[in-house]
Amino acid sequence: MAAINLTTQKIGANEIAVLTFDLPGEKVNKLSSPVMKELQAHLEKLKTSSYKMVLIKSAKPRIFIAGADIEEIRQLTTKDQVVAAVSGGQSIMNMLEDLPMPTMALVNGACAGGGCELILSCDYRIASEDSSTRIGLPETQLGILPGFGGCIRMPRVVGLQAALDVILAGKLLNAKKALKIGLVDYVVHPNLLEGFANQQIEKIIADGAKKRRKVFKPRGLVAKLLEGVLSGVVFSKAKEGVLKATKGHYPAPLAALDVIKKTYGMSDRAKAMSIELAHFAECAVTDISKNLIHVFYLTEMVKKQTGVSDSNIKGKPVKHLGVLGAGTMGGGIAYVAADKGVDVRVKDISHDANAKALKHARDLWAKLMKKKVIDNYQFTQKMSLVSTTVDFSGFKSIDLTVEAIVENMDIKKKVIAQTAAEMRNDAIIVTNTSSLSVNEMSAGHPRPQYFAGMHFFSPVHKMPLVEVIRGEKSSDETIATVFELAKKMGKMPVVVKDGPGFLVNRLLLPYMAEAAFLLSEGMSIEKVDRAYVHQFGMPMGPFELMDSVGLDVCVKVLNIFKKAYPDRVEMPALMEKLEKNKNRMGQKTNLGFYKYNDGRKGEVDQSIYTELGLGNPTNPYSDQECIERGVFAMVNECCLALDQDRIVETPNEVDLAMIMGTGFPPFRGGLTKYADSVGANYIKTQLDKYSSERKANRLKPSSKLVERASKKAKFYN
């Protein structure tokens, strides 16, 4: 079956050709090699035909063309292979651009990467205003750059500044934004799309069916200057922005910038295309690109999963959500759920807390309204979805309740039992505990098959990860329901087994503790944090992370961890000292390792060294040692969590959870992908060295790491 159908259509007295993309057996259209071959064959025919116009559209609901086939890109390992594969695509887009008759693309739904490059090769572009319409060039997110002429055509169509914004950030635009920058000519209601296109086609034909090579015309003096004599400033500002955002860890946006700089205004298309191709080939074979594609697959994997292995079991829809506790987490959970259209009932013991939770949600939506992301009507509608109570009124109609009250086992058990009595027998309760045992807590529920953990990360509206904790008695249906709810809330769920720290905190704790040991051995806070951020690529260093978690919380959880694993967990003495100063609990008290002003990070608080009896830092170790001690400590623990305790099933979940829950650098592909890149044996050797040189038992390679090292085992084969 064909992926592209060529049909004809009469418009008035004229006949036009219609190319309809409809990849058989797939939900989305992709520009794979076979599809590109079909396109080429159609274009060969059209080149010599007498059709007045060519219309390009998709038969898939709410999808135009999602992009090139990423699997094909992943398979390319040499530059020659890349050049051979991509140059063909460039020629086909050139053929489309060079057709003798005008061409028009009708976009309803996702139009990304190669799909966007295809519409850029057309003369006219009309998009539907449907919310599924997202247009852009996200290639840099995968460590590559637009390779079918996108770097050359985008600036010509929308101008230099807008093209840089679209290409360097790799974000997709909605129809309104695409119209604003001139990426599409018209935006219409999806039901009117075809009729409107026909009218336009009639006009274009009546006007002589002329080709149009749209060239952006800057309006106003400033725009003219920026496109002309000041374009050098635009490029250097763009480079500065990329370096600031990526700390130099992502070469693709810089390569794209270089292509645009070299080809902007170039009239020799073949030469411009060869520059783009050479840069594309450089990027596509890098480990960084392969790692980013790995991360892309991990997120796609979650979209297809249900959280349970039995494919017959489906989660139940959660239309009414209960939230117990209107504090930091409860307020955040209520906001995110209502934002996605779920009706939320929040119960706290305090009216004040309820009022604060409502204010939190209102403030966040007000910000979105100010930025014109939502309108007044949507604001009111979202607000109306959150109600609060201090009793259990309304809980009979609730499908699932998230418990987010104080972190105390006895209180939680009691409140869970009370709540279960107020809800339907088939309703679910989940706990958001970060450190208590879900299995132990399930004893509070009279029907523990309806109980599980749903561990959000703070701040809830920003952090994408949710750990779905499967208790020993949780039923498959409960897990599938929680998993589905997390996805509905726009989160990335990962199913984990119960155990101290679940997955993410269990791996993070040795890393944070190691930073405290480095500090006690003479390293400065700035130097350690800088090494992690600038050299390794973490979004923040371990000291800033501890400040944001709360130093009291870190100590509390470390103690739980130490109790669970006394043979390998050491509590840094300075953390216990720190905990005594109630004014220094981190960001929440405006003082931790750093000083804060209304939550904004300032300088390191230099008085902390004296307070801890440390003297001036001498920075005795290299950045390499600082990074390896922390990161390898995580890998060490990961081997136990994965190989021994089976907290998650595969390295995929570890990588996804670490990226989504801690911001572990995506360009490294995740913790286990990174471990594979350096090798288990190297990690073991270094940990042996550090544990003996620094007299640190905690850094001794775990039995499972030793096993991996001796077998030269990789997490991914």
Ligand X SMILES: NC(=O)c1ccc[n+]([C@@H]2O[C@H](COP(=O)([O-])OP(=O)(O)OC[C@H]3O[C@@H](n4cnc5c(N)ncnc54)[C@H](O)[C@@H]3O)[C@@H](O)[C@H]2O)c1
Judged by CB, which is closer to ligand X: 7, or 350?
350
Quote the tokens at residue 301.
């994997």
Residues 250 and 143 sit within 8 Å (Cβ to Cβ): yes
Question: What backbone torsions phi and psi does residue 685 show, to the nearest 5 degrees?
Answer: -60, -45
Q: Nearest-CA neighbor of 30 among 1, 3, 69, 59? A: 69
Q: How far is the CB of 665 from ligand X (least distance, A)?
A: 22
Give least dist CB 116 to ligand X, A. Answer: 39
Rounded to whole angstroms, the Cα distance separating 91 from 85 reads 11
Helix (H, G, I), strand (E, B) or coil at 676: helix
The footprint of ligand X on residues 443-502 (CB under 6 A) is 456, 458
* Of 78, 299, 350, 692, the one binding ligand X by CB under 6 A: 350
Name which of 35 and 485 has its Cβ closer to ligand X.
485
In sequence order, what E strands does 278-427 have?
A: 320-324, 343-347, 386-389, 400-403
Tokens of 37: 């071959």
Min dist. Cβ of residue 525 to ligand X (A): 21
> With respect to ligand X, which residue has the nearer C-beta, 219 or 462?
462
Distance CA 151, CA 496 (A): 42
Point out which span in 35-43, 244-252, 349-357, 370-378 binds ligand X (CB under 6 A): 349-357
Q: How far is the CB of 367 from ligand X (least distance, A)?
A: 21
Rounded CA-CA distance 321/339 in Å is: 12
Q: Which residue is nearest to ligand X (CB)?
A: 327
Q: Give the one residue of 83, 193, 281, 353 binding ligand X; rule: CB under 6 A.
A: 353
* Torsion angle of C-alpha atoms 402, 406, 407, 413, degrees rounded to 10: -60
Give a three-class secondary structure readout of 227-260. Answer: HCCCHHHHHHHHHHHHHHHHCCCCHHHHHHHHHH
Contacts with ligand X in 210-249 (CB under 6 A)? none
Contacts with 189 (C-beta within 8 Å, 6 or more apart), sequence order: 128, 129
Min dist. Cβ of residue 253 to ligand X (A):
32
Active site residue 455: yes
Name 186's bridge partners. 126
> How wide is the angle at C-alpha 55 spanned by C-alphas 271 and 14, nearest 5°?
120
Q: Which is nearer to ligand X, 38 or 544 (CB)?
A: 544
Q: Counting contacts by CB under 6 A, is residue 347 touching ligand X?
A: yes
CB 519 within 8 A of CB 614: yes
Out of 349, 368, 409, 540, name the contact with ligand X by CB under 6 A.
349
Q: How far is the CB of 85 from ligand X (least distance, A)?
A: 45
CB atoms within 10 A of CB 316: 16
Checking 92-96 for CB contacts under 8 A at 24+ apart, the result is 92/36, 92/39, 92/40, 92/43, 92/148, 93/117, 93/118, 93/121, 93/148, 93/149, 94/121, 94/149, 94/269, 94/273, 95/40, 95/43, 95/44, 95/47, 96/39, 96/43, 96/121, 96/122
Choice among 320, 351, 455, 461 that is catalytic? 455
* 177 forms part of the interface with ligand X (CB under 6 A): no
Q: Which of residues 311-330 bind ligand X (CB under 6 A)?
A: 324-330
CB 598 to ligand X: min, Å: 18
Nearer to ligand X, 120 or 504 (CB): 504
Among residues 154 and 333, whose Cβ is nearest to ligand X? 333
Shortest CB 596 distance to ligand X, Å: 16
First to last CA, the chain: 35
User: How many CB atoms sit inside 10 A of residue 447's CB?
Assistant: 16
For ligand X, give the closer residue by CB, 378 or 589.
589
User: Residues touching ligand X: how many (CB under 6 A)?
Assistant: 22
The total number of residues written for the chain in this structure:
717
Taking CB under 6 A as the criterion, which residues in 391-450 touch ligand X?
404-407, 415, 432-434
Sign (positive or negative) of CA dihedral 685, 690, 695, 700 = negative
- Measured distance CA(654)–CA(501) in Å, rounded: 14
Residue with Cβ nearer ligand X (90 or 435): 435
| Residue keyed to tokens 């939502």 | 374
For CA atoms 72, 74, 77, 79, the dihedral sign is positive
State residue 439 phi and psi, 5-degree precision: -65, -45
Tokens coding 408: 């105390």
Q: Which residue has the tokens 């520059």?
A: 275
* 592 contacts ligand X (rule: CB under 6 A): no
Preceding amide of 102 cis, omega within 30:
no
- Residue number with CB closer to ligand X (114 or 330): 330
CB of 530 to ligand X, least distance (A): 25
Of 338 and 639, the one with the shorter C-beta distance to ligand X is: 338
Shortest Cβ 354–ligand X spacing (Å)? 8
Q: What's the min distance (Å) between Cβ of 505 and ligand X?
A: 9
In the set 38, 227, 348, 547, which binds ligand X (CB under 6 A)?
348
C-beta of 226 vs 465, nearer to ligand X: 465
- Active-site residues: which are they? 455
Q: Which positions touch ligand X (CB under 6 A)?
A: 324-330, 347-350, 353, 404-407, 415, 432-434, 456, 458
